[in-house]
């Protein structure tokens, strides 16, 4: 939708006049204030407990006793504010808890130094009670508030309202990326395309963007491509949005890069986004150690399941228990991938005819819907990913990893475009972003995007997160089969 400017306002008025926009939808102020009140209440309760259970207190508390109980509370509240633990932009995410713990760490250091300098022999037991109990109560309260916020977002409320600005292509791609976010943190209320032929105001997009902020109750203007606006226009837009209490966000032209890899640097007085070399090589030994330990533990724990599944496959249909198929591994080296057999014998010879019946192959993903070759037991095994368990032996042997891009057949790899070959820079995995995001239901374009994102940003911490999501996906499977 193309937004029209306010015809009766001049450009200087729009850009320079301070405006305070009423925020009837200001959920951010409510949740930020609510957390401040519950933080204070939690520390008040912990100070009271410290005073009551402390070593004998006088009938009328002295000023020093009150200071020892209330002082750490005040310091902690200030530190929580300084680290931005109530910043609306991080509410409802794990960053909120990280910042709380950072604020606690700062408060502990300040109180420890101040106590040692001012009152070396003060009642440290009470301070310890305030710190430990107060931190626990704050985290519990934050967890409750986060649950309230997430429920509201699932109901379509409390989302950050975005106006996406950029060229036609950049806005379309940005909206598509934002719609993949299922958390409900943001909602795109409208878009504004810069550079269209009928652009008014001599091509200056700032008035048009500002004209859309108020009627759409925008929280943040997101510039999808920084090259569509000159630095002067971007600066004037930032000034005007600040007066209107609206944030300005600019998407960096870095593509699929994880936030933890982007660093901020200052060179010659100007800010830069620094993208250091990927940590993949330095973490590869640790990743391999996790694979060895994890696969060994899983093989021991799941031994009864492996034996039971093997027995069921053996008696349910004619043929071997294990199925071996050549797949392409790291650096293009082929290997034999193991699975419990879930198809009838000779199924590989039927694949070409089944694919041809579906039409010409245009994507390197050979997948047959409602595959008639799958046995009745095989459908159950695939639904719960039990047929994949023998790949733990591949992981232990080093041809696969617990997490990585799914290994593909040589014929599929032969259809790769240039970018897709980056999948082969790491060991293929039993699970990965492809599997936890959409199982086999994802189209090839989305699947390769997730795989390339993983390859470029892989880390041990990310692998553990994917494994946790894999466990949830296996425990509650969908109708889609694993690939």
The per-residue pLDDT for range 307-318, each reduced to its tens digit, is 999 999 999 888
Average pLDDT, the chain: 80
**End-to-end C-alpha distance for the chain, whole angstroms:** 39
Q: How far apart are the C-alpha atoms of 169 and 300, rounded to whole Å? A: 52
Q: What is the pLDDT at residue 24? A: 41
Average pLDDT over residues 341-364: 71
For the record, the structure tokens of 378 come out as 């095989």
Which carries the bigger pLDDT value, residue 27 or residue 4?
27
Q: What is the pLDDT at residue 9? A: 36
Q: How far apart are the C-alpha atoms of 315 and 200, rounded to whole Å? A: 75
Confidence of residue 21 (pLDDT cuts 50, 70, 90): very low
Q: What is the pLDDT at residue 125? A: 63
Average pLDDT over residues 284-303: 93
Residue 38 neighbours by CB distance under 10 Å: 17
| String of DSSP letters for 162-177 | EEEEE-HHHHHHHHHH
The DSSP H or E segment spanning 138 is: helix 124-154
CA-angle at 287, arms to 281 and 292, nearest 5° = 140
For the record, the structure tokens of 323 come out as 């199925």
Q: What is the pLDDT at residue 118? A: 60
Q: How far apart are the C-alpha atoms of 381 and 342, rounded to whole Å? A: 7
3-state secondary structure 77-102: HHHHHHCCCCCHHHCCCHHHHHHHHH
- Convert the pLDDT of each residue in 24-48 to its tens digit: 457 888 999 999 999 999 988 888 8
Cα-Cα-Cα-Cα dihedral of 419, 421, 422, 424, to 10°? 170
Q: What is the pLDDT at residue 121? A: 58
Q: CA separation (Å) from 324 to 321, 341, 398, 426, 483?
A: 10, 9, 16, 21, 15
Average pLDDT over residues 130-157: 90
For the record, the structure tokens of 366 come out as 């050979």
Q: How far apart are the C-alpha atoms of 424 and 421, rounded to whole Å? A: 6
Which carries the bigger pLDDT value, residue 88 or residue 400?
400
CB contact at 8 A, 294 and 394? no
Phi, psi of 162 (to 5 degrees): -110, 140
What are the CB-based long-range contacts (under 8 Å, 24+) for 226-230?
A: 226/250, 226/251, 226/252, 226/253, 227/253, 228/165, 228/166, 228/167, 228/170, 228/194, 228/195, 229/165, 229/194, 229/205
Confidence of residue 20 (pLDDT cuts 50, 70, 90): very low
Residue 331 backbone zone (phi > 0: left; psi -120 to 50: alpha; other: beta): left
CA 58 to chain CA centroid, Å, is 52
Pairing status of strand 429-431 against strand 401-403: parallel
Residue 365 backbone zone (phi > 0: left; psi -120 to 50: alpha; other: beta): beta
334 three-state secondary structure:
strand
Q: How far apart are the C-alpha atoms of 389 and 482, rounded to whole Å? A: 12
Q: How far apart are the C-alpha atoms of 171 and 224, rounded to whole Å? A: 6
- The string over 439-459, giving b where at least 16 C-beta atoms fall within 10 Å of a residue's C-beta and e elsewhere, is bbebeeeebbbbbbebbbbbb
Q: What is the pLDDT at residue 3? A: 39
Confidence of residue 202 (pLDDT cuts 50, 70, 90): very low
Confidence of residue 364 (pLDDT cuts 50, 70, 90): low
The DSSP H or E segment spanning 409 is: none
Domain boundaries, the chain: 27-154, 156-274, 281-475
Q: How far apart are the C-alpha atoms of 46 and 302, rounded to whole Å? A: 45
Confidence of residue 14 (pLDDT cuts 50, 70, 90): very low
418 three-state secondary structure:
coil
Which carries the bigger pLDDT value, residue 475 or residue 18?
475
Most confident of 10-14, 189-193, 200-204, 442-446: 189-193
Q: CA separation (Å) from 235 to 207, 224, 331?
A: 13, 16, 46
Phi, psi of 240 (to 5 degrees): -65, -40
Phi, psi of 170 (to 5 degrees): -70, -40
The pTM score is 0.67
Fold type of domain 156-274? Rossmann fold (3.40.50)
Percent share of the chain, pLDDT over 90:
28
In angstroms and rounded to an integer, the radius of gyration of the C-alpha atoms of the chain is 29
């Amino acid at each position: 939708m193309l937004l029209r400017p306010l015809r009766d306002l001049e450009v200087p008025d729009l850009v320079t006049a301070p405006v305070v926009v009423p925020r009837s939808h200001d959920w951010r102020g409510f949740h930020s204030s609510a957390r401040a009140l519950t933080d204070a209440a939690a520390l008040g309760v912990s100070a009271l407990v410290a005073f009551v259970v402390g070593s004998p207190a006088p009938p009328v508390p002295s000023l020093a006793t009150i200071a020892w109980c209330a002082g750490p509370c005040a310091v902690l509240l200030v530190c929580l504010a300084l680290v931005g633990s109530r910043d609306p932009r991080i509410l409802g995410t794990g960053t909120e808890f990280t910042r709380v713990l950072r604020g606690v760490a700062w408060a502990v250091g300040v109180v420890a130094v101040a106590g040692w300098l001012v009152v070396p022999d003060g009642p440290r037991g009470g301070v310890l009670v305030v710190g430990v109990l107060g931190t626990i109560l704050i985290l519990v309260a934050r967890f409750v508030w986060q649950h309230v916020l997430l429920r509201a977002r699932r109901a379509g409320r409390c989302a950050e309202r975005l106006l996406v600005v950029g060229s036609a292509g950049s806005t379309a791609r940005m909206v598509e990326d934002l719609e993949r976010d299922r958390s409900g943190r943001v909602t795109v209320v409208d878009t504004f395309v810069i550079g269209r032929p009928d652009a008014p105001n001599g091509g200056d997009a700032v008035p048009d963007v500002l004209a859309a902020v108020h009627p759409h109750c925008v929280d943040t203007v997101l510039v999808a491509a920084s090259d569509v606006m000159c630095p002067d226009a971007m600066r004037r837009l930032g000034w005007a949005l600040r007066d209107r209490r609206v944030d300005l966000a600019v998407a960096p032209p870095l593509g699929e890069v994880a936030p933890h890899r982007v660093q901020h640097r200052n060179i010659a007085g100007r800010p830069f986004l620094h993208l250091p070399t990927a940590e993949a090589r330095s973490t590869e030994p640790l990743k391999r150690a996790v694979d060895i330990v994890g696969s060994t533990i899983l093989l021991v724990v799941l031994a009864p399941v492996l034996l039971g599944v093997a027995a069921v496959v053996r008696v349910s249909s004619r043929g071997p228990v294990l199925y071996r198929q050549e797949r392409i591994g790291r650096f293009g080296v082929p290997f034999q991938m193991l699975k419990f057999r879930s198809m009838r014998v000779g199924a590989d010879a039927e694949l070409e005819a089944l694919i041809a019946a579906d039409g010409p192959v245009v994507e390197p993903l050979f997948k047959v819907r409602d595959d008639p070759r799958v046995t009745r037991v095989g459908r159950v095994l695939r639904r719960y990913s039990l047929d994949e368990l023998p790949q733990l032996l591949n992981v232990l042997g080093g041809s696969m990893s617990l997490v990585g891009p799914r290994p593909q057949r040589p014929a599929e790899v032969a259809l790769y475009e240039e970018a897709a070959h980056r999948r082969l820079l790491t060991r293929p995995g039993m699970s990965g972003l492809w599997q936890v995001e959409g199982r086999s239901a994802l189209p090839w374009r989305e699947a390769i995007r997730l795989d390339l994102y993983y390859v470029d940003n892989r880390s041990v911490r990310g692998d553990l997160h994917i494994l946790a999501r894999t466990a949830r996906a296996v425990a509650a499977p969908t109708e889609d089969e694993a690939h």
